[in-house]
């Protein structure tokens, strides 16, 4: 069922809008390419593993950039662990946590407790060193953005203090043996990478120019201006229409709840997965009307067909806030059952932890207490 798949990324659209496009002020002018000296490691905390003072020497260092909200990053973790075990003594793997969602006005390092909780709860699937970015977001800016890498997971390989490869972790199985056997052609790879990175930087600059005024209007709470900019962007950047409609709903919810829900109803008829995006903005927000919570939950139709525990947990929250305790209990029971299965089978690595199950149990108890 498509909604169930989309719900895995309930928050991703709104998060990525501000993490990737919303940090325009933090963009660096430096450019990082294959063969360049690797920037230093600067971080808020070395969370796991033996700290590394420098990336010099013939040993390979694999830096894997990730975030707690990134589904593909979580999927890559067990295999990275196997690779670290396979190449122990030859290669050091370091997970670099970046681009966490931080409340407005809070320093970036306020995300550290959540990152530490994630790493501890996912210990078996992260069998390598882990660090978290600092308030400067040094790693995100001076490594990722400088290299033109705008998406995660993203992997950097360093040898003798120089960056010799950048790409997706899926390619490590083929590239690492080549490097260890001395067969890797860095210059040939550099030619290809330089061209793609230049294109990525150009695209990112264009997006920054387009999205920065919207970000500024949102920060200033100039919501009418933000709505105008959103409509302009929908025309000039048609590929981002869904994202812009998601932002429109977010802005309307700040301005007028009724207008926001009227838009949501219309949008839901146009785009089936719109309900997942609406859910991401509604279920964690307090103080909305019961009608808003209940429409959001009921827009998913027959809940008995849903199989994603995170989606069911979010729906349970909406039903509870809407006063429908029976459906809240039903959704939470389903979420708990599926979460226990996922935890046992390891089918939702990094998304369902032992503390997720504990949290679901506490919510179910709370909901049942209302009957």
78, 114 Cβ separation under 8 angstroms: no
> Catalytic residue at 318?
no
Residues of the chain below pLDDT 50: 1-28
Preceding amide of 291 cis, omega within 30: no
* Strand pairing report for 129-132 and 91-97: parallel
pLDDT digits (tens, 9 = 90+) for 75-84: 999 999 999 9
b/e string for 18-41 if b means 16 or more Cβ within 10 A?
bbbbbbbeeebeeebebebebbeb
Assigned CATH topology for domain 213-368 = 1.25.40
pTM: 0.85
- Give me the pLDDT at residue 29, please: 55
- Give me the pLDDT at residue 26, please: 45
- Catalytic entry in 9, 16, 70, 331: 70
* Strand pairing report for 45-48 and 129-132: antiparallel
> Catalytic residue at 73?
yes
Beta-carbon contacts of 17 under 8 Å, excluding residues fewer than 6 positions away, are 211, 243, 246, 247
Domain residue limits, the chain: 31-184, 213-368
CATH of domain 31-184: 3.40.30.10
283, 314 Cβ separation under 8 angstroms: yes
Measured distance CA(129)–CA(92) in Å, rounded? 8
Measured distance CA(250)–CA(104) in Å, rounded? 15
pLDDT digits (tens, 9 = 90+) for 121-155: 999 999 999 999 999 999 999 999 999 898 999 99
- Catalytic entry in 9, 16, 73, 318: 73
- Give me the pLDDT at residue 203, please: 79
Tokens representing 329 are 């209990």
- Give me the pLDDT at residue 25, please: 40
- Give me the pLDDT at residue 316, please: 98
* Strand pairing report for 162-167 and 154-159: antiparallel
């Amino acid at each position: 069922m498509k909604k169930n798949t989309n719900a895995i990324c309930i928050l991703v659209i709104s998060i990525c809008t501000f993490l990737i496009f919303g940090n325009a002020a933090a963009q660096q002018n430096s450019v990082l390419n294959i063969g360049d000296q690797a920037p230093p490691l600067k971080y808020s905390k070395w969370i796991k593993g033996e700290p590394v003072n420098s990336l010099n020497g013939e040993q390979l260092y694999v830096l894997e950039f990730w975030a707690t909200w990134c589904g593909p990053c979580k999927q890559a973790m067990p295999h990275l662990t196997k690779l670290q075990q396979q190449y122990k003594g030859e290669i050091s793997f370091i997970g670099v946590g970046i681009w966490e969602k931080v409340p407005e006005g809070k320093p970036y390092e306020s995300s550290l407790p959540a990152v530490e909780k994630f790493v501890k709860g996912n210990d078996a699937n992260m069998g390598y060193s882990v660090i978290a970015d600092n308030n400067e977001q040094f790693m995100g800016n001076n490594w990722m953005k400088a290299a033109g890498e705008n998406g995660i997971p993203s992997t950097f390989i360093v040898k003798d203090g120089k960056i010799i490869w950048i790409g997706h972790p899926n390619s490590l199985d083929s590239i690492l043996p080549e490097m260890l056997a001395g067969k890797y052609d860095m210059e040939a790879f550099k030619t290809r990478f330089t061209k793609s990175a230049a294109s990525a930087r150009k695209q990112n600059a264009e997006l920054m120019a387009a999205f920065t005024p919207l970000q500024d209007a949102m920060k200033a709470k100039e919501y009418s201006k933000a709505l105008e900019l959103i409509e302009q962007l929908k025309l000039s950047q048609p590929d981002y229409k869904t994202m812009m409609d998601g932002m429109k709903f977010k802005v309307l919810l700040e301005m007028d709840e009724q207008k926001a829900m009227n838009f949501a109803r219309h949008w839901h008829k146009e785009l089936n997965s719109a309900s997942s995006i609406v859910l991401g903005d509604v279920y964690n927000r307090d103080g909305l009307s019961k009608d808003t919570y209940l429409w959001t939950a009921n827009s998913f139709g027959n809940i008995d067909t849903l199989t994603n525990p995170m989606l069911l947990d979010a729906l349970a929250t909406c039903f509870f806030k809407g006063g429908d305790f029976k459906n809240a209990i039903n959704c939470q029971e389903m979420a708990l059952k599926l979460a226990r299965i996922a935890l046992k089978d390891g089918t939702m690595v990094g998304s369902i932890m032992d503390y997720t199950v504990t949290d679901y149990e506490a919510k179910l108890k709370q909901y049942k207490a209302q009957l």
